[in-house]
Chain A
């Protein structure tokens, strides 16, 4: 099975004070550390496991800058056969624009299955995959936690709310957006990344794809980023750990829990 997997590099946001830049439409990003989007890590692992079972190839694609190649190298180290970076140049990109670019690249590749993450950890649109499916005119499913391919179709599991799953059958090719927990992503060592440097990583631009102009007009635009309003929020318990623990136990008892 020939599988295409779309991946993205995202900043880590835990334990950092995010600051908004002067344009008010973006973050100050120079101090941030980046990783492969968590959902995409699971998507790449799934692609590789499926390939190990059924044969075929895995191609990882990102739309991004040279810095974003770092996540493609990681995908190659995990076992992808080939990687493609599309350089979008300087432009405002919403999910629609990204999906148009991805669709154009994927049309030129053999594909039985296309995997994306459910959402990207930074903008969490949760829509690039399904937008892409519609442009390729193939079926789709969001929040997938299991894939069992059989010839021209696959039995899949979609995660619904409240611990409920939906089992369905989808014809291939299809676009599936992959949910965390579907597998156990393999560990990637620095050595592994170094070894994978020999694998093919192609860079193309929009001229190579022959798209531009009105096709790449965003459907939504950010007007302003702002910090969450300082609502009432939590009453902070201060003091050393012992004092804090004492307070916590007091509150718990006050609320009618017997300890």
Chain B
């Protein structure tokens, strides 16, 4: 019987949602393969969420060590290598998060385990794992196979799987020591900084009028802001709008911005990258306006309009005036 490892991600005492999502998918795979589900957690001190993980795994391997208070790729890599050598898991799931992106490739090449990143599905075909990835800004899907190996490493996209708890697991929490020969980390944590707070709070709005790169230039932001004001909503945006300094960071929706939950989210000239869409899963209704009928945003929107956003903006203004 084989084993599947899930590397649990947490920050400042809280589990990240992606951890639940990976555990859900690992549970499904373990049932199919009759494998054991092992969650791996590295902590600086005892954490209250360990019990929560245990309910979703057959076993929780906890490495508790003062040096693991914050994520560190060098230490995580060293510890995982030794755990993998000992347990020889069939598969290791990690988050496709900034930390996972820093760790997974280093682990993969160091150990010689093949790696596929940013996967939205994992399937088994004739005993071999395959993954599905979204490429070309979500316009193409790709099914990918691995070079034959003892252990396969997969990083999982946020929101690809539900965070739900599967029934029937009550894992034991097993403390394991960090290996004695861990290297001195070459990167040292200094501090967390909150870059997100600001003058308006888009997370509380009932209506968000959100602009993407399709808005074209800084001057056009005013036109949309005016519309948002007339409709009693707030303006929000995708990342490129912030990158170009057209709006301050606290207007940004998405994984590296805010998660929002308006009753209605009106997306204007936004393509629908997963990092954006992950921020609107809590929205009641999504209406998307885009010139490109193949834009991925139409796969997640409830309503869609294929048109130039300015035509729609002007028409909305005209109706509100009249």
Q: Do A and B interact with each other, yes or no?
A: yes
Point out residues on A near B: beta carbons under 8 Å.
Answer: 11, 13-15, 17-18, 20, 27, 95-96, 99, 118, 121-127, 129-131, 133-135, 138-143, 155, 157-171, 174, 177, 180-181, 184, 217-229, 231, 233-237, 241-242, 244-249, 251-252, 255-259
Q: Do A130 and B101 have beta carbons less than 8 Å apart?
A: yes
In the complex, chain B residues 78-137 whose Cβ is within 8 Å of any chain A Cβ: 96-99, 101-102, 104-106, 108-110, 114-118, 130, 133-137
Stretch in contact with the other chain, from B20-28, B33-41, B292-300: B292-300
Instruction: Pick the contact of A162: B142, B191, B258 (CB < 8 A).
Output: B258
B181-215 interface bits toward A, Cβ cutoff 8 Å, 1 = contact, 0 = none: 00000111111111111000000001100000000
Measured in the bound complex, the distance between the Cα atoms of B310 and A231 in whole Å is 28
Chain B: which residue is nearest A165 at the CB level? B193
Measured in the bound complex, the distance between the Cα atoms of B146 and A99 in whole Å is 17
Q: Do B102 and A228 have beta carbons less than 8 Å apart?
A: no
Chain A: which residue is nearest B299 at the CB level? A233
Chain A: which residue is nearest B243 at the CB level? A181
Q: Do A248 and B117 have beta carbons less than 8 Å apart?
A: no
Q: How large is the interface on B (under 10, 10 to 19, 20 to 34, 35 or more residues)?
A: 35 or more
Measured in the bound complex, the distance between the Cα atoms of B136 and A170 in whole Å is 32
Q: Do A236 and B74 have beta carbons less than 8 Å apart?
A: no
Stretch in contact with the other chain, from B43-51, B55-63, B160-168, B301-309: B301-309
CB distance from B274 to the nearest CB of A (A): 10
Instruction: Pick the contact of A242: B118, B197, B271, B318 (CB < 8 A).
Output: B318
Instruction: Pick the contact of B102: A15, A142, A162 (CB < 8 A).
Output: A142
Chain A residues with CB below 8 A from B109, complex form? 96, 99, 131, 134-135
- Could you jot down 16 A-B contacts, CB within 8 Å? A126-B118, A131-B108, A134-B109, A140-B102, A140-B187, A160-B98, A164-B11, A164-B194, A167-B193, A228-B139, A228-B296, A241-B314, A252-B207, A255-B264, A257-B232, A257-B233
Chain B residues with CB below 8 A from A121, complex form? 137
- Asked if B263 is at the interface (CB within 8 A of a chain A CB), the reply is yes
Instruction: Pick the contact of A126: B117, B143, B285, B300 (CB < 8 A).
Output: B117
Measured in the bound complex, the distance between the Cα atoms of B232 and A257 in whole Å is 9
CB distance from A112 to the nearest CB of B (A): 14
Chain B residues with CB below 8 A from A217, complex form? 147
CB distance from B47 to the nearest CB of A (A): 18
B275-294 interface bits toward A, Cβ cutoff 8 Å, 1 = contact, 0 = none: 00000000011111001101
Measured in the bound complex, the distance between the Cα atoms of B103 and A143 in whole Å is 12
Question: Known interface pairs A131-B109, A241-B307. Does A126 touch B96 (Cβ–Cβ under 8 Å)?
Answer: yes
Question: Known interface pairs A236-B305, A244-B315, A252-B231. Does A162 touch B196 (Cβ–Cβ under 8 Å)?
Answer: yes
Q: Do A122 and B136 have beta carbons less than 8 Å apart?
A: yes
